[in-house]
Amino acid sequence: MIPLILSLLLGAQLQAQTTTTSSPALKATIRLQIAKVAAPDASPDTALGNLGPIVATLLTPDGPVDIDYVVAGESMRGDVQGRLGMFTRGTIILQRVGEDSITVMNPGNHTWFELPATATLGSTMSAPDVQMEPTGERATIAGQRAERFKFAETIRIPVPEGANLPSEFPRQIDLAGDLWSTDAFSGHDYAAIFRTLQAAGAIPGMEALTAGGRFPLRIAVRSSMMPGYEIRSEVVSIGPARPSASFFDVPRDYQQVQFPAGRSRN
């Protein structure tokens, strides 16, 4: 859902060899958390009830998680600094535009496995309806000037053929929230980075959130399925990076394993 994945996004400069791509590279540290907010008066309007506590427990069981992202050309790497869903602390995620799988590395036992790109939420969703509205409000986030937008998004839930779901089961998810973004990284030189974010993130609505070369710095997402909670992601540091050519590759001493056997239990 995020990005929310945002997903999807990108701190301190990497001290390494120059990258093989002529396009700029970015590194950003993003903090993801499920936060409690003032509960609305209305009850959840879905048969699923309030998913807020469940999502918090499954996605961020130990609290806020920092992820160090590096995007260069059509390659992306994320170093997970805490427990995040199925990923244990220290997990490294690699993805390249056009590939049909995501590489997941466990530095703890030098193993890696492939996760089908179709396993991500965004890849299973149809293009959502997204509305964006500027508020005129501005602030400085991670050293960058950012503008606040309000957004609303409707994601239609795909129903597997032959599935017998209750009539009250939701057929769509309505999301709303606030997006703070900057145009500091817009322009032709950074075009490849935005293509990579949109393709690798597989986040519903990513194209709208990064429209016009605007880079998301802070996102707060709310839903009637999670009254009293919101999903937050915020860039805490961002800047240029110079990753080595091997930074987006699996080291030679890593052994491939089958998912989920490659997951560490620590």
What's the rounded Cα separation, in Å, for the pair 76 and 89? 18
Q: How many separate domains does the chain show?
A: 1
| Domain annotation covers residue 2 | no
Tokens of 67: 């992820």
- Cα 29 to chain center, whole Å? 12
Which is higher by pLDDT, 122 or 82? Answer: 82
In a domain, 16, yes or no: no
Confidence grade of residue 159 (pLDDT, cut at 50, 70, 90)? low
Q: In this model, does residue 212 exceed pLDDT 80? A: no
204 or 108, higher pLDDT: 108
Q: Which residue range is the domain that position 105 belongs to? A: 25-244
The whole-number pLDDT of residue 86 equals: 81
Whether the pLDDT of residue 224 is over 70: the answer is yes
Q: Is 101 contained in some domain?
A: yes
Q: Which residues contact 261 (CB under 8 A, 6 or more apart)?
A: 113
The confidence score (pLDDT) of residue 202 equals 47
Residue 262 lies in a domain: no
- What pLDDT score does 56 carry? 83
Please state the rounded mean pLDDT for residues 135-162.
86
Predicted confidence band of residue 250 (pLDDT cuts 50, 70, 90): very high
User: How high is the mean pLDDT of the chain?
Assistant: 76
pLDDT in tens, 24-61: 788 989 999 998 887 655 555 555 557 778 888 888 88
φ/ψ (deg, to 5) at 3: -145, 30
Confirm if 26 and 239 have CB atoms less than 8 A apart: yes
Predicted local confidence at residue 166, as pLDDT: 61
Range scoring the smallest mean pLDDT among 57-71, 78-92, 96-110, 187-201: 187-201
Which residue, 144, 127, 7, 18, is CA-closest to 76? 7
Q: Is residue 34 in a domain?
A: yes
pTM over cut 0.85? no
Domain at 215, CATH number: 2.50.20.10
| Position 257 in a domain | no
Q: pLDDT, tens digit, for every residue of 76-103?
A: 899 999 998 888 899 999 988 778 788 9
Taking the C-alpha atoms of residue 254 and residue 109, their distance in angstroms, rounded to an integer, is 8
Whether residue 9 is contained in a domain is answered as no
**Within a domain: residue 249?**
no
- Range 118-138 burial, b when 16+ CB lie within 10 A, else e: eebbbeebeebebebeeeeee
One-letter amino acid of 139: A
pLDDT, one tens digit per residue, over 128-142 is: 677 889 999 999 999
